[in-house]
């Protein structure tokens, strides 16, 4: 038997605790699969003196993550702390020293993945991050390896468990946004600061990672158009239901020629759409490729154990590589695509207006759409005393034209309020 592969674990929270549990419970199998034991030699946390039910020797805990990373006997560093700094400094140091790195840190990869990839390439070290997108779902490895002979054209998915949990609860039980968020946090799905989830930052980071891998180009979080779900109301959800639809926070990355558009926003999708039935904290991602056609990946996208499954999968791969002297394929970012703004995306809108119920209002509203070159697909009107609610679904148009239409609607007298604006995916 080869000598143990020594592991430093940075972070022992929701994910780290499960990594430790799986390392212990599956020690024999992991040893057999790797060809050497996996030995945890240190665990860096913020509060090392805290009582933890992990079964780890309390002497392994330290608050000195950098000291742990710099130990000569450490072969692999697993980072499940999160955030940009100090995680970036630790991981750059680990890679510089030739250690294998496994991380779940999508925020860091989406902001400064290039620095990590460059450091890994320079040192000939492995950098694995399957857990950073869609939890347990094997998704990055297929994009990074299996689909390298094909041309990916579009990636559409639900990649944030917390917001999917919230929207599913609002849809199924009429729960309020706040109630559903509290439950998602208690279940360990939400980030330490749930703003990252509900404002779409977490999904945008994942979208950037998916687009980078899928399109062989460096896409950062700054290239991703982002809207969260905090503006989605119970009325929107009910209105979607009334149209045989539901609302999901989607990430959509599209390649057109030498350009890429990547966006995260709530969208109305028909209940017949395969993503509509993705409930709870589950994630699902469609990958469309020229030769492969449509591929769908589905599974648990958040939570300690599912995420730890992906971390352990990466750990086994890195440990095997260390034993054989191999290294996984480097980042492939040769395509150098230009990121285009949301205004150039061709999409559809569902617009809900509170209007005065009098002669000529419909014509005035229709005129605004026409002025911006936006064709109306359907109009529904429900009377409400002297007022009416107009629900308009458009045909496809550039997002900039749709946005300009809504901006003008907000200025005309007959429109008392633009109650909601949602993009539409699929055929309503």
Q: Which residues of 214-234 are buried (b: 16+ CB within 10 A; e: fewer)?
A: bbbbbbbbebbbbbbbeebee
To ligand HSE, the closest distance from the beta carbon of 115 in angstroms equals: 21
Which of 165, 177, 189, 369 forms a contact with ligand NDP (CB under 6 A)?
189
Q: What are phi and psi of 235, to 5 degrees?
A: -65, -40
To ligand HSE, the closest distance from the beta carbon of 307 in angstroms equals: 6
Q: How far apart are CA 192 and CA 189, in angstroms?
A: 9
Q: Please state the separation of Cα 165 from the chain's center in Å.
A: 14
Cβ proximity to ligand HSE, 300 vs 372, nearer residue: 300
Residue 151 burial (10 A CB sphere; 0-12, 13-18, 19+): middle
Tokens (6 digits) for 418? 């633009």
To ligand NDP, the closest distance from the beta carbon of 65 in angstroms equals: 5
Q: Which stretch binds ligand NDP (CB under 6 A): 45-53, 143-151, 261-269, 415-423?
A: 45-53
Q: 12 contacts which partner out of ligand NDP, ligand HSE, none, CB within 5 to 8 A by kind?
A: ligand NDP
12 known ligand binder: yes
Q: How far apart are CA 164 and CA 228, in angstroms?
A: 11
Which of 19, 107, 119, 190 forms a contact with ligand HSE (CB under 6 A)?
190
Site for ligand NDP in 78-97 (CB under 6 A): 80-82, 86
Which of 160, 212, 261, 347 forms a contact with ligand HSE (CB under 6 A)?
160
Which of 42, 100, 113, 135 forms a contact with ligand NDP (CB under 6 A)?
135
Q: 13 contacts which partner out of ligand HSE, ligand NDP, none, CB within 5 to 8 A by kind?
A: ligand NDP
Q: 105 contacts which partner out of ligand HSE, ligand NDP, none, CB within 5 to 8 A by kind?
A: ligand NDP
Q: At what angle do helices 27-34 and 304-324 cross, to 10 degrees?
A: 30
In 3D, which of 136, 374, 366, 154 has the Cα closest to residue 263? 154
Tell whether omega for the bond before 267 is within 30 degrees of 0, i.e. cis: no
User: Applying CB under 6 A, what is the total number of residues that bind ligand HSE?
Assistant: 11
Site for ligand NDP in 49-68 (CB under 6 A): 50, 65
To ligand HSE, the closest distance from the beta carbon of 202 in angstroms equals: 5
Q: 162 contacts which partner out of ligand HSE, ligand NDP, none, CB within 5 to 8 A by kind?
A: ligand HSE
241 counts as catalytic: no
Q: Based on the shown chain and the rule CB under 6 A, indicate whether residue 318 belongs to the binding site for ligand NDP.
A: no
Which positions from 193 to 222 touch ligand HSE by CB under 6 A, shown as an x/- string?
A: ----x----x--------------------
Residue 350 burial (10 A CB sphere; 0-12, 13-18, 19+): buried
To ligand NDP, the closest distance from the beta carbon of 45 in angstroms equals: 4
Name every residue whose Cβ is closer than 8 Å to that of residue 301 and which is 6 or more positions away in sequence: 134, 135, 136, 137, 158, 159, 160, 161, 164, 281, 282, 283
Q: Please state the separation of Cα 387 from the chain's center in Å.
A: 40
To ligand NDP, the closest distance from the beta carbon of 378 in angstroms equals: 39
User: Applying CB under 6 A, what is the total number of residues that bind ligand NDP?
Assistant: 28
Q: Give me the active site residues, please.
A: 206
> What does the binding site for ligand NDP look like in residue numbers (CB under 6 A)?
11-16, 44-47, 50, 65, 80-82, 86, 104-106, 131, 135, 188-189, 191-192, 302-303, 307
Annotated binding site for NADPH: 106
Annotated binding site for NADP(+): 10-17
> What does the binding site for ligand HSE look like in residue numbers (CB under 6 A)?
135, 160-162, 189-191, 197, 202, 301-302
């Amino acid at each position: 038997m080869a000598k143990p592969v020594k592991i430093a674990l940075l972070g022992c929270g929701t994910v780290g605790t499960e990594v430790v549990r799986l390392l212990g419970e599956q020690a024999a199998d992991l040893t057999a699969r790797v060809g050497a034991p996996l030995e945890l030699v240190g665990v860096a946390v913020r509060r090392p003196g805290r009582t933890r039910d992990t079964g780890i020797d309390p002497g392994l805990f330290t608050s000195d993550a950098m000291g742990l990373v710099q130990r000569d006997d450490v072969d692999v560093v697993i980072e499940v702390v999160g955030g940009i700094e100090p995680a970036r400094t630790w991981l750059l140091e680990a890679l510089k020293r030739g250690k294998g790195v496994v991380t779940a840190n999508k925020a860091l990869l989406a902001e400064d993945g290039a620095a990590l990839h460059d450091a890994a390439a320079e040192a000939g070290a492995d950098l694995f991050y399957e857990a950073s997108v869609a939890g347990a779902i094997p998704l990055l490895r297929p994009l990074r390896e299996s689909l390298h002979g094909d041309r990916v054209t579009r990636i559409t998915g639900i990649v944030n468990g917390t917001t999917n949990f919230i929207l599913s609860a609002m849809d199924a039980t009429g729960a309020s946004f706040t109630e559903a968020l509290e439950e998602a946090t208690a279940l360990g799905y939400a980030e330490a600061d749930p703003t990252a989830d509900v404002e779409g930052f977490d999904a945008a980071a994942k979208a950037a990672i998916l687009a980078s891998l899928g399109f062989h180009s460096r896409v950062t979080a700054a290239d991703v158009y982002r809207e969260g779900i905090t503006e989605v109301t119970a009325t929107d959800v009910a209105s979607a239901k009334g149209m045989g639809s539901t609302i999901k926070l989607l990430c959509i990355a599209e390649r057109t020629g030498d350009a890429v558009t990547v966006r995260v926003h709530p969208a109305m999708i028909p209940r017949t759409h395969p993503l509509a039935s993705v409930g709870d904290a589950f994630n699902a991602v469609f990958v469309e490729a020229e030769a492969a056609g449509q591929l769908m990946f589905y599974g648990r996208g958040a939570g300690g154990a599912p995420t730890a499954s992906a971390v352990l999968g990466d750990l086994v791969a890195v440990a095997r590589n260390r034993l054989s002297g191999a290294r996984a394929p480097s980042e492939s970012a040769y395509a150098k695509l230009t990121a285009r703004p949301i205004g150039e995306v061709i999409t559809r809108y569902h617009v809900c207006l509170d209007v005065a119920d009098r002669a000529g209002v419909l014509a005035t509203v229709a005129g605004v759409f026409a002025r911006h070159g936006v064709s109306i697909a359907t109009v529904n009107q429900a009377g409400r005393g002297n007022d009416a609610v107009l629900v308009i679904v458009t045909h496809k148009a550039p997002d900039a034209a749709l946005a300009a239409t809504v901006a003008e609607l907000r200025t005309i007298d007959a429109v008392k309020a633009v109650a909601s604006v949602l993009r539409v995916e699929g055929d309503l």
